[in-house]
Amino acid sequence: MVFSLLLWFIPTVAVGDDGGCEASVIEVPDEAKPWVSEAARSSGLSADFIAAIMKQESGFRPDAYADDSNGGTWGLLQMNRSVWRGVHPEGADQTPPEGITAPMVHAHYGGIYLKNRLAGIKQLKAAHPGMPFAELDDLTALVIAHNAGESNLMRYPDIPNTTKRYLDNVKPAIDAGGGCSATAGRTIGKLTPPLVIRSGTLNVDVAATGTPVGKITTYATGQCTWWAAARRLQIGKPVDGYMGDGWMWASSARKIGYPTGGGIQLGDVASFAKGYLGASADYGHVAIVEEIKDDGSIVVSESGGGLPYAWLRTLTKEQANNPSITYIH
């Protein structure tokens, strides 16, 4: 399976001019914002809570690894093989387990893990109403179980000191609660049609935008190439059905005769070199330029990791003009 690695975010206060949200409690690096957004979406938990857990577990590093008694933990939420297998059985016996270090994939399934574990915590509390841990709020109980296991949760308040410190670090996010105040059906971008964004996320409502993803048959659904081809078709820009992996699109475009290089233009395909800004080290990446801001930064739409929708990312002027990106006009 081909995984494309990507980037951006959705936290807990007002929508900014760029269609995102500003984090009220946890400072999130720009590259981690879409990972936080996706995990918040798939878990149903607040973005501040997700960001706090990611910061604590990995410092927002998708390649983070710890060699522990469980045989190792990987990725943004430091999930071990057994936990990963519970939500992503495909390739779980590989080392590392398939998809666990691909940030959007990890965020998606990590959010599902947190949702499932929270449901189990609620059942455990209901089954033991007289025990001290049952008086905890659900998120506090979830953090203890995530960090130290349900057996330690049931011993509350006698929990490991490392778990106490962990809990202290994420408590402000637990207390913040809430979610993003994004408005349903808002649009973003300067292309025609603009992108319709799902409420409370930076994910594209593909159906509402009308992007003809069903017409794309030569690129696998949920890959960056699939979305780029569909979006280019929608905005009336040329795209061939056999341009290869993301990093190959620049050379393929030149062979076909599509113009490349020079200044960035709206509707361009941004073809990322392997490994640049989270692009796959094997396959590279492609995205579509939706907006060019006055400060030289750009907003792109992109997909990847087999997830059948798209989302937004902002690149700084310096990132956007790095020679590791070729623009196809």
Which tens digit of pLDDT belongs to each residue from 148-162?
999 999 999 999 999
Is pLDDT at 59 greater than 90 in this prediction? yes
Task: Record the pTM.
Answer: 0.60
Q: Which pair of structure tokens corresponds to residue 227?
A: 């979305």
Q: What is the 3-state secondary structure (H, E, C) of the chain?
A: CCCCCCCCCCCCCCECCCCCECCCCCCCCHHHHHHHHHHHHHHCCCHHHHHHHHHHHHCCCCCCEECCCCCCEECCCCEEHHHHHHHCCCCCCCCCCCCCCCHHHHHHHHHHHHHHHHHHHHHHHHHCCCCHHHHCCHHHHHHHHHHHCHHHHCCCCCCCHHHHHHHHHHHHHHHHCCCCCCCCCCEECCCCCCEEECCCCCEECHHHHCCCHHHCCCCCCCCHHHHHHHHHHHHCCCCCCCCCCHHHHHHHHHHHCCCECCCCCCCCEEEECCCHHHCECCCEEEEEEEEECCCCCEEEEEEECCEEEEEEEEECHHHHCCCCEEEEC
Whether 6 and 302 have beta carbons less than 8 Å apart is answered as: yes
Share of the chain above pLDDT 90, in %: 63
pLDDT at 9: 29
- pLDDT tens track for 294-321: 999 999 999 988 888 898 888 999 999 9
- pLDDT tens track for 250-291: 999 999 999 998 899 999 999 999 989 888 888 999 999 999
pLDDT at 25: 67
- Give the domains, in start order, of the chain with CATH numbers: 30-176 (1.10.530.10), 187-328 (3.90.1720.10)
pLDDT at 126: 92
pLDDT at 163: 95
Is pLDDT at 18 greater than 90 in this prediction? no
Residue range 6-22: average pLDDT?
A: 32
pLDDT at 187: 83
The mean of the pLDDT values for the chain is 86
- pLDDT tens track for 184-217: 357 888 999 999 887 767 788 898 899 999 999 9
Q: Using DSSP bridges, classify how beta strands 298-304 and 325-328 pair: parallel, antiparallel or unpaired.
A: unpaired
Is pLDDT at 7 greater than 60 in this prediction? no
Is pLDDT at 6 greater than 80 in this prediction? no
For residues 172 and 286, the model is more confident at 286
pLDDT at 271: 97
pLDDT at 12: 26
Whether 83 and 92 have beta carbons less than 8 Å apart is answered as: no
